[in-house]
Structure 1
């Protein structure tokens, strides 16, 4: 089952790591490995959401998502999108950006360094909004309760995430941008940071708005499904799990693609905190995207969702750490390995906490079972 589901991902991983070594040696191998782990970690909860929605779609739309969807996810967002980011931020044509990445690495690095302040501000604001919206939401399951409970209460204040993000952007522009580093030395990038940060904030709000629109369409289809089930019960017919097709499935497909785009976007932006090399970025994120799709298929075929409930928390705390580090890199240099390992450490911690929680619940059930049996 595992080999059948993840076989293509294993093959792509091997090819990607070999390509990284051929491209730039063992350092490139390490960077690609970190990017793979980062992408999988940040997109794990996306795979869980995908599985929960995908199992409701009929076989035709499941195939559409797992074929056309993977082309959009891997080639569109993970391979093309990083080129677009560099091309826009460095005022280059896409073809010129690719040619520089392969043929004139020194000049390419200079252009990326000059554009780093705008990339960091744009990405930092986008990632910060994802993190803030998560921690300010009141969730039934809390990982770090001492922190998440008071933050959930604060989250009842309207537009708090936007206000905090704008304050962080203003502080970054005032204290970090005036000495932003380029290949020509330190320059004042205050205006650039402000404009790019606002653009990142607007992009997040647009993506969130589209996701909300498609989510509403999804909820409408679910309501119709429940009405059909209720009608079947009243008529005495057998109630079966409905799989959505037609227009409702189309809206589900669009919703899944918007969700995937938003998660892949934070992966791409976060990757700039690991490396500026567009080739390594494309390889690492592409391999990671394959695992996200394989995990989605695995969860659907198993018929159950993963019970490591704190992994979603760990992924979002990793996003918050990346957002902070991106903004810091406007002025200061941060080692790429440190940035990557912070995310991996947070995911590992959340995974370990999930295991401990599962063991504790199992022990409590074991203790309660003799009492219930004695009562019988």
Structure 2
């Protein structure tokens, strides 16, 4: 098991050395804390990634780590926050980078000021992911049947997940000041569009059957996973500024955490954990729904530790439920094979 984490371990060593060179032992500890924070917040992300990757070839699974990890670290945890600051502050990308280096407090203030828009985009995207799973009319196995069965029936309605997500975004926007409402709606609509584009490019390229394969195993599917990863990480990136304003330390800590999550995803696939625990995937998507709800509760400040505990507990309950059901089935089969007993 330890050998399977060679890449994350190597990246941890490199990150800690770089942190020490930047600011000594204090920054090393800070990077370690950020890494643990990222892992604790993204356990459900690992399961959700595995649910997509299980139908991919080994070549694309490898690309998920070799190409996807640099995108996750450099793109989503370093460049993307810079882009947010550039747009929110009405400045250029280079100016945003200079601001991060020369005036980190001002940089953090601008990034935090865009929290509603970031939450709208990420929350809308994750809500579409959640509804996409729950409204799957072909889904035969349900964990929380009283909710999931009616959802599956509603899945026969065309674009029900789009209508509900946009409706929720519109409803939440009414709780915001007039000056923030339009940008919130625009960002939420962007999250819905990003989800539709990620799932629709394959159909555009090659028809229904072929398109499904391309979405799952191609550039569109790869980008879908990267957007999913960033949606999980938005709150973590912004929350990290409560610990430090140094964007490089944040990228190092959260990036190493992302490496562990991706390696955990590949281990889940290799060991067939999704098949072994039948409700694990359900638990992950319920955790995604909870995270989406938290992100969209823009007027409620939910600590990151609470968010992480909700995801971990939901997955834990799903695993326990799977074990209980499996044991019941084994007992029932044994009883049916030995009726005299």
What TM-score do the two structures reach when normalised by structure 2?
A: 0.79
Q: How far apart are the structure 2 equivalents of 1:315 and 1:215?
A: 30
1:168-214 deviation line (CA, Å, top 9, x unaligned): 12222212344xxxxxxxxx312221222222222222122135557
Tell whether the 8 Å contact from 2:119 to 2:235 is kept in structure 1 after alignment. Answer: no
Matched, 1:35 2:38: yes
Q: Which runs of 5+ in 1 are unaligned?
A: 179-187, 223-247
Match of 2:125 in 1: 126
- Return the index of the structure with the highest Cα Rg: 1
Is residue 114 of structure 1 aligned with residue 113 of structure 2? yes
Cα distance in 1 for partners of 2:216, 2:205 equals 6
Contact 2:199-2:220 at 8 Å conserved across structures: no
Match of residue 222 from structure 2: 257
* CA gap 1:300/1:339 in 2 versus in 1, 3 angstroms: closer
CA change 1:95–1:45 in 2 (3 A) is: same
Contact 1:217 1:251 in 2 (8 A): no
Aligned twin of 1:239: none
Task: Give 1:115 deviation, angstroms.
Answer: 1.6
Per-residue CA deviations over 1:118-153 (Å, capped at 9, x if unaligned) read 222222222222222222123122111111111111
More divergent stretch after superposition (38-47 vs 82-91): 82-91
1:289 and 2:258 matched: yes
Determine the structure 2 residue equivalent to 1:164.
164
How far apart are the structure 2 equivalents of 1:306 and 1:44?
12
Q: Which residue of 2 aligns with 1:12?
A: 11
Q: Residue by residue, what CA displacement relative to the aligned partner does 1:207-255 show, whole Å, maximum 9, x if unpaired?
A: 2213555796874898xxxxxxxxxxxxxxxxxxxxxxxxx9x993435
Instruction: Tell me which residue corresponds to 2:82.
Output: 83
Instruction: Look up the SS of the partner of 1:108 in the other structure.
Output: helix
Q: Which residue of 2 aligns with 1:151?
A: 151
Give the structure 2 partner of residue 308 of structure 1.
277
- Gaps in structure 2 of 5+ consecutive residues: none
**DSSP-derived class of the 1:175 partner:** coil
Indicate which of 23, 26, 29 corresponds to 2:27: 23
Normalised to the residue count of structure 1, the TM-score between the two structures is: 0.73
Aligned-residue offset at 1:306: 4.5
Q: 1:77 to 1:107 in 2, by over 3 A?
A: closer
In the alignment, the residues of structure 2 paired with residue 268 and residue 143 of structure 1 have an alpha-carbon distance, to the nearest angstrom, of: 27
SS in 1 for 2:276: coil
C-alpha change, 1:67 and 1:124, in structure 2 (3 Å) is closer
Superposition deviation, residue 108 in structure 1: 1.8
* Cα 1:364/1:85, change in 2 over 3 Å: farther
Q: Which among 220, 227, 234 is matched to residue 269 of structure 1? A: 234
Conservation of the 8 A alpha-carbon contact between 2:86 and 2:93 = yes
Question: How far 1:65 sits from its partner (Å)?
Answer: 5.5
Q: Identify which range, 9-18 or 258-267, moves more after superposition.
A: 9-18
* Structure 2: distance between partners of 1:33 and 1:17: 13
Q: Which residue of 2 aligns with 1:199?
A: 190
- SS of the equivalent of 2:142 reads coil
> Greater CA deviation, 14-23 or 154-163?
14-23
CA distance in 2, matches of 1:32, 1:92: 30
Q: Which residue of 2 aligns with 1:317?
A: 286
In the alignment of these two chains, the number of paired residues is 330
Q: Distance in 2 between matches of 1:261 and 1:215?
A: 22
**Is the Cα contact below 8 Å between 1:177 and 1:189 reproduced in 2?**
yes
Q: 1:253 to 1:167 in 2, by over 3 A?
A: closer
The partner residue of 1:344 within 312, 333, 338 is: 312
Kept in 2, the 8 Å contact 1:43–1:264? The answer is: no
Quickly say closer, same or farther: Cα 1:219–1:126, change in 2 above 3 A.
same
Q: Report which stretch shifted further, 335-344 or 142-151.
A: 335-344
In the superposition, relative to structure 1, how do residues 82 and 43 fare at CA in structure 2: closer, same or farther (>3 Å)? farther
Give secondary structure in 1 for the equivalent of 2:141. coil
